[in-house]
Structure 1
Amino acid sequence: MGHKWQDILVSPTTSMEETITVIDKGALKLALVVNNDNQLLGVVTDGDIRRALIKHLSMDSEIQLVMHTTPLIAPPDTSRTKLLNMMNAKGLTAIPIVKNSRVIGLETLQKVMDAKRYDNPVFLMAGGFGTRLKPLTDNCPKPLLKLGDKPILETILENFISCGFHQFYISTHYMPEAIRLHFGDGEKWNVDIHYVHEDTPLGTGGSLGLLPNNLPDLPIIMMNGDVLTKIDFEQLLEYHNQHQPLCTMCVREDEYQVPYGVVEADESRIISLVEKPIHKYFINAGVYVVSRQLANTVSENQRVDMTDLIETAITNDHYIAMFPVHEYWLDIGKMVDFYQAQKDVMQGGRFDGGN
């Protein structure tokens, strides 16, 4: 969000003279007209006020007579690439960020263009058959099933792009042509997309052996192509770089409630009784940061799961870190998960603009 965007908020009854002062002090070349609930009513620029003066409006006139009532806005978590395209197309220097009609921030052209850029490869696993989502996947690979108006994998891709990543690799097996046709070389998103193809399924880790040898000497962010999440990937990468493990696994806390009273005994003597206890544990979230050292241990066309690679590393006393995920996370493995994802995306649920 833009800095000090709250300083450019004005009420609809603010005079043009007062609004000019707000615009000048804010140095953002515009003011946002809002009501008492911060609902966006309009946007006004210095040019709008000057044009009003040409029409002989008084400087005491209320700004609601001058403002644009249908300004270009963007929802939270709009990718940086899309924001840049929107501003360039309309010749704008800023776009209000709006959720449920309320202003929650402002993205500026300068901030978007100065955004961080990461050269770390992002490896997206998209080769699965999606068997548990049949018949939806009979003629469509699971990564291309739509959530709202875009495929699952496109939502994942744009989340990474919004964090500054631009080098992508996609592993394919089932219906690879459809995936290649949709994403191409990434030009649509101003990023580079490359593909590796598994002639036979290689498990969740085997496709690491298909990556080219000329990758930059940087950790690889690896993610299953059926995970919808709001993980802060920048923070994840920073965490990995700080701790320098062989691999960082994202984990999600889950819990299970035993439906009975649990008895603890010493031989025949009961020493405690806990009614329906809740057990908490961490589960694999399907997102990893993989060091080049670990990736290089996978041979070409070797079938291996990520859990096997990690268990072997742990056995050999290598440091494997875990990164707890508190943000939104959903593994779209079953039909009920797919319907939940649809609800979260289309009805403004937890995934839309929040954790």
Structure 2
Amino acid sequence: MTDWQDVVLTPLSNIRDAMRTLDETALRIAIVCDENNKLLGTVTDGDIRRGLLKNSDMQDSVSAVMNQSPRTVTRSHTRQQRIDIMDQYDLLALPIVDDTNHLVGLETLHQVLKPKKRDNPIFIMAGGFGTRLRPLTDNCPKPMLRVGDKPMLEHLINQFRVLGFYDFYISTHYMPEVIHTHFGNGSEWDINITYIHESTPLGTGGALGLLPKNLPKLPLIMMNGDVLTKINFTELLSHHESNNLDATMCVREMEYKISYGVVESQDGLITNMVEKPTYRYHINTGIYVLSPEYVSSVKPNTQIDLPTLLEQRIDTDKKVGIYTTHEYWLDIGQMTDYQKAQQDIKGFYS
């Protein structure tokens, strides 16, 4: 499948350029963007035919025939929402844009119905005790608590499956038999599951040292198993790869509003006053993409948390970046979170 960046044109491109792009690529669409990558329109074979019938010339700007108001989606649209939009408007592709209408990707009907098989390993941490959710976790590991009609870990695995991921590693410690009994080797879900048991908790980073050494030389996605999310993991992975990062932390923007006037001072003198300010922070979602070199750097039976490992990589001048997500994300750490998840799941797949 052609990379979507290969079908991007500028207003300086002519109709002949658009026809050549459509002929040489497999996406059956060309996308017109300005110099800042802001979406201006799309072009299909039908758009060109209609333009030529209205006496457009092959040397005319592609802007003369492009659809200036194409249907688009954002990263927050679910797979089913994208399918529904394509079906409703008889479309084969949908540009993916951000909140300012800048192009960030392209979803095709082929991809959304039959996603590309992805060999990247997925490592899910599912060994915690879940003490803040007792008594629910007295006889069940937290990732196996049901949200709606499925364990939260199954919801998470399904999010990966529909995107083409199939190679799963699950770290266990507390009541591993519950997870083993439910998922087995993963064949019921048409995936492969390998269990990584921590006889002693090693922290989020230390578990990496227990992974087999014959993993594919591809970035690994690692995350906690007690999260409910609609994050598009393929776009997270694409961000990591296109920026040539050693590690990527997925973050969310959190707002904190102060209800009072904030006074800033220095040496006993007021330097600034801000009335009821809003501060914004990036918080860690517990979702990471790690390079093969990063994964192999962790020695077996090392007890360490992932943020500490990230700091060590930064200290050795490795590129550690962030990916800011605006999609639904809920860390189910307390009873109120679990109750919220029960309500949210009702509209999760719509």
Provide the secondary structure at the position in 1 that maps to 2:288. Answer: strand
Structure 1, unaligned runs of 5 or more? 1-75, 79-95
Q: Which residue pairs with 2:349 in the alignment? A: 352
Q: Which residue pairs with 1:286 in the alignment? A: 286
Deviations 1:241-260 (A, max 9, x none): 11111101101101212233
Deviations 1:13-62 (A, max 9, x none): xxxxxxxxxxxxxxxxxxxxxxxxxxxxxxxxxxxxxxxxxxxxxxxxxx
Provide the secondary structure at the position in 2 that maps to 1:180. Answer: helix
Deviation of 1:181 after TM superposition, in Å, equals 0.6
Contact 1:344 1:352 in 2 (8 A): no
Mapping 1:192-207, distance limit 5 Å: 192-207=192-207
Deviation of 1:275 after TM superposition, in Å, equals 2.1
Mapping 1:84-163, distance limit 5 Å: 114-163=114-163
Deviation of 1:111 after TM superposition, in Å, equals 6.3
How far apart, CA to CA, are the structure 1 residues paired with 2:185 and 2:144? 16
Deviation of 1:130 after TM superposition, in Å, equals 0.5
Mapping 1:292-311, distance limit 5 Å: 292-311=292-311
Deviation of 1:277 after TM superposition, in Å, equals 1.4
Provide the secondary structure at the position in 1 that maps to 2:119. Answer: coil
Matched, 1:216 2:213: no
RMSD: 2.4
How far apart, CA to CA, are the structure 2 residues paired with 1:125 and 1:132? 17
Q: Which residue pairs with 1:318 in the alignment? A: 318
Contact 1:171 1:207 in 2 (8 A): yes
Contact 2:213 2:296 in 1 (8 A): no
Deviation of 1:114 after TM superposition, in Å, equals 4.4
Provide the secondary structure at the position in 2 that maps to 1:205. Answer: helix
Deviation of 1:343 after TM superposition, in Å, equals 0.7
Aligned AA (1:162) = V
Deviation of 1:301 after TM superposition, in Å, equals 1.3
Provide the secondary structure at the position in 1 that maps to 2:203. Answer: coil
Q: What is the TM-score normalised by the length of structure 2? A: 0.68
Aligned AA (1:173) = H
Mapping 1:209-288, distance limit 5 Å: 209-288=209-288
Deviation of 1:276 after TM superposition, in Å, equals 2.2
Mapping 1:63-82, distance limit 5 Å: 77=79
Q: What is the TM-score normalised by the length of structure 1? A: 0.67
Cα distance change on mapping 1:296 and 1:324 into 2, 3 Å: same
How far apart, CA to CA, are the structure 2 residues paired with 1:277 and 1:256? 9
Contact 1:97 1:105 in 2 (8 A): no
Cα distance change on mapping 1:110 and 1:229 into 2, 3 Å: closer
How far apart, CA to CA, are the structure 2 residues paired with 1:175 and 1:288? 25
Deviation of 1:151 after TM superposition, in Å, equals 0.3
Deviations 1:47-84 (A, max 9, x none): xxxxxxxxxxxxxxxxxxxxxxxxxxxxx646xxxxxx
How far apart, CA to CA, are the structure 1 residues paired with 2:89 and 2:148? 23
Deviation of 1:227 after TM superposition, in Å, equals 1.2
Contact 1:97 1:106 in 2 (8 A): no
Aligned AA (2:231) = I
**The structure with more radius of gyration:** 1
How far apart, CA to CA, are the structure 2 residues paired with 1:250 and 1:256? 20
Deviations 1:77-109 (A, max 9, x none): 46xxxxxxxxxxxxxxxxx859xxx96989999
Q: Which residue pairs with 2:189 in the alignment? A: 189
Deviation of 1:278 after TM superposition, in Å, equals 1.2
Cα distance change on mapping 1:114 and 1:340 into 2, 3 Å: closer
Cα distance change on mapping 1:300 and 1:105 into 2, 3 Å: farther
How far apart, CA to CA, are the structure 2 residues paired with 1:262 and 1:105? 54
Deviation of 1:271 after TM superposition, in Å, equals 3.1
Aligned AA (1:308) = T
Aligned AA (1:251) = V
How far apart, CA to CA, are the structure 2 residues paired with 1:279 and 1:109? 40
Aligned AA (2:139) = N
Contact 2:79 2:112 in 1 (8 A): no
How far apart, CA to CA, are the structure 1 residues paired with 2:110 and 2:281? 43
Aligned AA (1:314) = I
User: Aligned pair count?
Assistant: 255
Contact 1:145 1:151 in 2 (8 A): yes
Cα distance change on mapping 1:186 and 1:109 into 2, 3 Å: farther
Aligned AA (1:283) = I
Matched, 1:342 2:339: no
How far apart, CA to CA, are the structure 2 residues paired with 1:210 and 1:317? 25
How far apart, CA to CA, are the structure 2 residues paired with 1:115 and 1:341? 27
Q: Which residue pairs with 1:41 in the alignment? A: none
Aligned AA (2:324) = P
How far apart, CA to CA, are the structure 2 residues paired with 1:209 and 1:201? 12
How far apart, CA to CA, are the structure 2 residues paired with 1:123 and 1:104? 38
Contact 2:115 2:162 in 1 (8 A): no
How far apart, CA to CA, are the structure 2 residues paired with 1:141 and 1:341? 17
How far apart, CA to CA, are the structure 1 residues paired with 2:326 and 2:204? 23
Aligned AA (1:337) = D
Cα distance change on mapping 1:142 and 1:250 into 2, 3 Å: same
Deviations 1:112-163 (A, max 9, x none): 7742110000000000000111110000110110010000000000000000
